[in-house]
Amino acid sequence: MRKVNASDFQINCLQFLEDVAKTGETILITQNGIARTQLAAYKPKTLFGAFKGTINIHGDIISPIETHWEAQQ
């Protein structure tokens, strides 16, 4: 975690925003040596890939099955 003084952050705010967005590294903003806040990259919540690695496929799931079904009209 990178530490930055509040006055330095104020001067270079836009550059720090770009750095955090690119690297994902959190920046701790201090005032007189005391931690006041931190700047972190935004991570949107999504379900895409949430269950990756939790489902195991056994056998062939693409080929048609040999069972014939009858339907009523």
* Domain harbouring 28, CATH code: 3.40.1620
In a domain, 7, yes or no: yes
In the β-sheet with 27-31, what is the strand arrangement from edge to edge?
Answer: 2-5, 27-31, 34-39
pLDDT digits (tens, 9 = 90+) for 23-73: 999 999 999 999 999 999 988 788 887 788 888 888 888 887 777 778 876
8 lies in some domain: yes
- 60-73 pLDDT, tens digit each: 888 877 777 788 76
Total number of domains in the chain: 1
**Other Cβ atoms closer than 10 A to 35:** 11
Domain range enclosing 20: 2-39
Asked whether the beta carbons of 33 and 39 are under 8 A apart, the reply is no
Quote the pTM value.
0.59
Residues across the chain: 73
Is 11 a member of any domain? Answer: yes
